[in-house]
Amino acid sequence: MSYKTGMRTMLTTIVLTFGFVLLLVPLLPACNSGSSAGRQDAGGLDATLLPADSGLESQVTVLETLDIFPFNDDLAPGQPTVDIAFYITELGPLTWAELASNITRAKRILSEAGVSIRVTSALRISVPASWQSLDPDEVTMPTTPEFVTSDLYAHLNELQTRVTLRNEAIFEAITSYFPVQASGVTAENTIHVITLNEAPIAYYDWDGSEWSYQTAPTGGLSFPPYAYADRIPAGIRGVITLSFQQAPFFPETRVLSHEIGHKIINVSHEGVGVCPAFAANGPELMLYGDGENIPSTEAGRWHRERLLLSPFLYTLEQGVAMFQDRYQNGGVYRDEVYGNYIVSPICPPETK
């Protein structure tokens, strides 16, 4: 029995996701009721009163500018590129050194699919201790339980998932330290990876007769366009949180690659012969496990084709970043930016 298998057996893993997180809930019922009891103030301010431009930037201190050179010495000229900025919090779950294997693996996986990762910046920062625990998202109770098994994307649209004003203010304060890029790439066009101890998800569980609101911790949360669409401010739509020290039996070096996949392939957990699901295993990057494959063609649910159409990608022309396209509908699964690279019906009836 492998270590991972042993851990799974021992911990009674419950894997619950909205398809956009790596979520592992050992033992427990890490789920809470739908109260807002876990909501904390944002650095001493009442979270419910925070405006979008809350001015929390002053509560962020840049402790160190970290060395990014080792990650950018192999950029392929002319190749579609995605920029990623890192914010390593002082009291957070990971060090910059501990993230290195995740970054090099993500660079290799995407490079094999024709996309370069450029690390634009990495900052070690200090933030108020209370920020290490984010709020669960705000979600709306859905009305059609059949979507859970027949069309996860329709289900997610019903949830109308959105970040709280407190989370929004925290993300905006941290990403305000994103340095100006000579290429013209802005914070809006960049993926921002922030390490924080707790980034819970919220969802509705259907027990066959009624919905119940649940929350659960995550190892990584990607805030993907297909789930948030234009309900997340453009300036922070690129945020990904990493908390994965809490998931010792997950293949940790793949977490970043998988979360980036949610963001720029813009699909849930799905793969060859696997319908979008809350949780599903398989050999592809967008399934649970340790897979790296980004499949193409309709059989591969157009993952590679969707990746190459991501509005986060640009190519340099005379040193200036030229972005290929914009989402037409906030980046929902069926966004027009993907043309025909949409699988429909999402899930054949026989797989329900």
Q: How far is the CB of 51 from Zn ion (least distance, A)?
A: 32
Using CB under 5 A, which residues numbered 22 to 51 contact Zn ion? 22
Smallest gap from Cβ 74 to Zn ion, in A, equals 27
CB of 15 to Zn ion, least distance (A): 10
Name the segment binding Zn ion (CB under 5 A); options: 16-24, 73-81, 98-106, 235-243.
16-24
Residue with Cβ nearer Zn ion (22 or 202): 22
Shorter beta-carbon distance to Zn ion: residue 22 or 103 = 22
170: buried, middle or exposed (CB in 10 Å: 19+, 13-18, 0-12)?
buried
Among residues 22 and 139, whose Cβ is nearest to Zn ion? 22
Non-local (6+) Cβ contacts of 272 within 8 A are 282, 284, 295, 299, 300, 301
Q: Helix, strand or coil for residue 82?
A: strand
**Can you read off the two tokens belonging to residue 279?**
């949780």
* Nearer CB in complex with Zn ion: 162/254: 254
How far is Cα 57 from Cα 55, in angstroms, rounded to an integer?
A: 5
Contact in structure between 306 and 325 (CB atoms under 8 Å) = no
Stretch that binds Zn ion, among 15-23, 90-98, 105-113, 126-134 (CB under 5 A): 15-23
Among 76, 57, 165, 68, CA closest to 115: 76
3-state secondary structure of 321: strand
> In the complex, what is the shortest distance from the CB of residue 270 to Zn ion, in angstroms, rounded to a whole number?
10
CB of 17 to Zn ion, least distance (A): 6
Map tokens 């000579």 to a residue.
182
Q: In the bound complex, what is the minimum distance in angstroms from residue 261's beta carbon to Zn ion?
A: 8
**Residue number with CB closer to Zn ion (22 or 191):** 22
Q: Which stretch binds Zn ion (CB under 5 A): 19-27, 134-142, 167-175, 327-335?
A: 19-27
Indicate the residue among 20 and 87 with the shorter CB distance to Zn ion: 20
Nearest approach, Cβ of 281 to Zn ion (angstroms)? 12
In total, the chain counts a number of residues equal to 352
Which residues sit opposite 323 in a β-bridge?
314
| HEC letters along 127-167 | CCHHHHECCCCECCCCCCCCHHHHCHHHHHHHHCCECCHHH
- Amino acid of residue 93: P
Query: Which of 22, 309 has the CB closer to Zn ion?
Result: 22
Segment lying near Zn ion (by CB under 5 A), choices 14-22, 41-49, 171-179, 334-342: 14-22
Q: Which residue is nearest to Zn ion (CB)?
A: 22
Contact 139, 227 (CB under 8 A): no
Point out which span in 20-28, 31-39, 122-130, 161-169 binds Zn ion (CB under 5 A). Answer: 20-28
Helices (DSSP H) in the chain: which residue ranges? Answer: 3-11, 96-112, 147-150, 152-159, 165-175, 225-228, 255-264, 303-308
Q: Which is nearer to Zn ion, 22 or 106 (CB)?
A: 22
Please give the DSSP secondary-structure letter assigned to residue 234. Answer: G
Minimum separation from the CB atom of position 181 to Zn ion (A): 28
Chain residues in the site for Zn ion (CB under 5 A): 22
